[in-house]
Amino acid sequence: MAEPSLRILACGDVDGKFDALFNRVRVIQKKSGQFDLLLCVGNFFSTNPTTSSEWKEYKTGSKKAPIQTYVLGANNQETVQHFEDADGCELAENITYLGRKGLFSGASGLQIAYLSGTESPSEPAPAYSFTAKDVASLKTTLQSQSKFRGVDILLTSPWPRDVWSYGNNPSEVDTKRCGSALVASLTMSLKPRYHFAALEGSNYERLPYRNHIVLQENAQHVGRFIALANVGNINKRKYLYAFTIVPMNSMDPAELVKQPLDVTENPFRKSGKEGSKSMQSRVEVEDEAAPQFFFDLSKQQGKKRYSGGRDGPHTQKKQPRKAPQATGPCWFCLASPEVEKHLVVSIGTDIVQPGTPYFYVELDNGEKLFHRIKKNFPLQFGREVLASEAILNIPTRADWRECKSTKEEEATWAKAFRESFEPFDFSPKD
């Protein structure tokens, strides 16, 4: 059975140019077929009173939007009058105001989170603004849902602050003043697959970014930010964006978390606190009560070099920690009856430092990568990387539970691999 997909149009500031927008939509639908929704961010109405006659034709029904249209609220005092109900209402046939903040769930399961207005630094806020309290309330409401993984679409009028970090820079906006810190915080928490914003008169499509920390969290869907220009702008900047989307809750998990080749780090993650630490050719040994050391693989393996700090090399050495003892059956200990010995290919005599778990990768160019394993490290990370589209392109094999085989099949494959691996086996032979 095919996954239910929706065809959606997103639009930037309409600024009261309703005929220009809807005529353009009619042309697109005549050429490409019907779309399900039109989502408008930024200023839907204009502060110019001369455009009121055009809106009146839609308000009275003499003209009708050719598609179900959802819009955000006012961004200035002059247009507040058009939104009679702060919680959302129908403005005209086929045109609906979503409300100040909330979640719109369609019959298809598509989830659209929205936040109207511009950021206000203090309470009480004007009718066209939102505050930190509004953002916190929206976060709590959505994240309290069981098994919350994010939303399909987020609509805001302002850009999120620093959205360009780690990615491509917008060429037409002043990055020193552009964006809302509260919207950035909201985006970080809600993890939208698509986020649309406007107000800057510019079209900007950021590279996709991760919603998880590599090596520390299970893979999650990527986020995409698209800013759209104003309708009918003289520079012919893009103000309409067409895309097809399958609701998150209807997607195959492996398909949902695919990472495109141009994916970047999350621009909203604070460096040094929430940010992921890059894998390097050394593993950092961290202890709050001791100086830092690094394993330097360019020298004799296992030798420590001092990295500085309050204490010097002559500080009294700490007693080494005892290796953790097994508390139950172990599937990976050769002495354990639970171990799957028919899968063993080779047994070496080199031991890693006990009590210091780490993830190790050796590349074909000789480079060695280490990462200290901490709490919540995804156990299937190595599997997920190898199965990814960029490497082996077998995402269905990312979960070991989906790769079960008979013991006879496993023994046959292990034997074949053992024979192929024998010329490279450096383990001692009896």
> For the segment 152-176, what is each residue's pLDDT rounded down to a tens digit?
999 999 999 999 999 999 988 999 9
Q: Is the pLDDT of residue 273 over 50?
A: no
pLDDT in tens, 204-214: 999 999 999 88
Mean pLDDT of the chain: 83
Better-scored residue on pLDDT, 84 or 285: 84
- Is 6-256 assigned to CATH 3.40.50.620? no
Cβ density class 74-108: b for 16+ within 10 Å, e for less = bbeeebbebbeeeebeebbebbbbbbbbbebeeeb
Grade residue 256 by pLDDT with cuts at 50, 70 and 90: very high
Long-range contacts of the stretch 55-62 (C-beta < 8 A, 24+): 55/16, 55/18, 55/82, 58/18, 58/92, 58/93, 58/95, 59/91, 59/92, 61/92, 61/93
Q: CATH 3.60.21.10 spans which residues of the chain?
A: 6-256
Over 70: is that where the pLDDT of 330 sits? no
Residue 100: pLDDT above 70?
A: yes
